[in-house]
Amino acid sequence: MGGVRPYIRLWLASLYLFIMGTITLAFTVVELFLGVIYQSLLVTSDALHGFMDSAIAFISGFGLYYASRRGRAFPWEIYRVESLVTLLAVLAVLGFYTYILATSLELSHEPTPLWMTLLLLAGGAVTYIMYLWEKHNYKILRLEILKADAVHAKVDASLSIAAAGAVVVSNLSGLIVAETVAVVAIYLYVLYEFSKLAKDAAYGIVGALYRDASLQEKIREALAELGTPLDVKIRRAGSFLVVYSLVGVSPDMTMGRIHALRTRAIRAISKLHPLIVHVDIKIVPRRKEYKRVERERRA
């Protein structure tokens, strides 16, 4: 699918994330209901983790969907809102989870019913199937967001299996502390996820630089026909990328020629990476720019 247009790749990826989010949410609602009914903090914790995962999947899916539909007049700055909404949604789930944990965690309580290991294992199986599916989709669409989500799903499947093991231990040996350890482990992993997500969201909100030497080199090659690339920066806009460049052009080049080459360069750069949502190319006369750079160097 290497020849598929970036917009179609984004649309397909958004569809996959919507499906993943819906499956996760449906299973999580059942898990949360049973966890509350049977007063199992372990199952409830696993469900709250699932809520966070489904929220991230839906928000990322909407972001990719709107990226696939953008036009020239689309306000690309809105992608920063995606990072902010993601951060707020996960913070809300984390806050609720922390409250539940702080008010319900006990070292001595009734063990989770043994039959609920089937529920936890089923959740792990579903998550692992989603991991395999996303891994396959990443190979086709080559979008890093799918690769990251696939790795996340693999870890989640392992956590579900570990939680089921803790229920078995607590029932067969009477070591209720096994469930407590599993609950704390899930919570710590959620905190770890949140810290990474918060970091990425902050980068997206403030427009931090995106470091990719290979992509920068390809951008410079796309600008070579227009003139001499004097500066190329790639910044984050939410989960997406914005390219800023300064190009020195020949003073003898006509405005019509500059416009045609600039338009061609923008189209070429937009195709280099499916997450590039905006390309800004500023033009300066090459001779004048070289003089300015030389003065600055001497100063």
Task: Decide if 57 contacts 153 (C-beta within 8 A).
Answer: no
What's the pLDDT at 143?
Answer: 65
What's the pLDDT at 233?
Answer: 93
290-293: long-range contacts, CB 8 A cutoff, minimum separation 24 = 290/248, 293/230
The structural domains of the chain, with segments of one domain joined by +, span 6-204, 213-298
Between 80 and 169, the more confident residue is 169
Reported as a single tens digit per residue, the pLDDT across 66-123 is: 777 665 555 666 677 777 777 787 788 788 888 777 777 666 667 888 999 999 999 8
* pTM for the whole structure: 0.71
Reported as a single tens digit per residue, the pLDDT across 197-219 is: 788 878 888 888 888 899 999 99
**pLDDT(289) > 70:** no
> Helix (H, G, I), strand (E, B), or coil: what is residue 108?
coil
Give CATH for domain 213-298: 3.30.70.1350
Reported as a single tens digit per residue, the pLDDT across 265-274 is: 999 998 888 7
* Percentage of the chain modeled with pLDDT above 70: 85
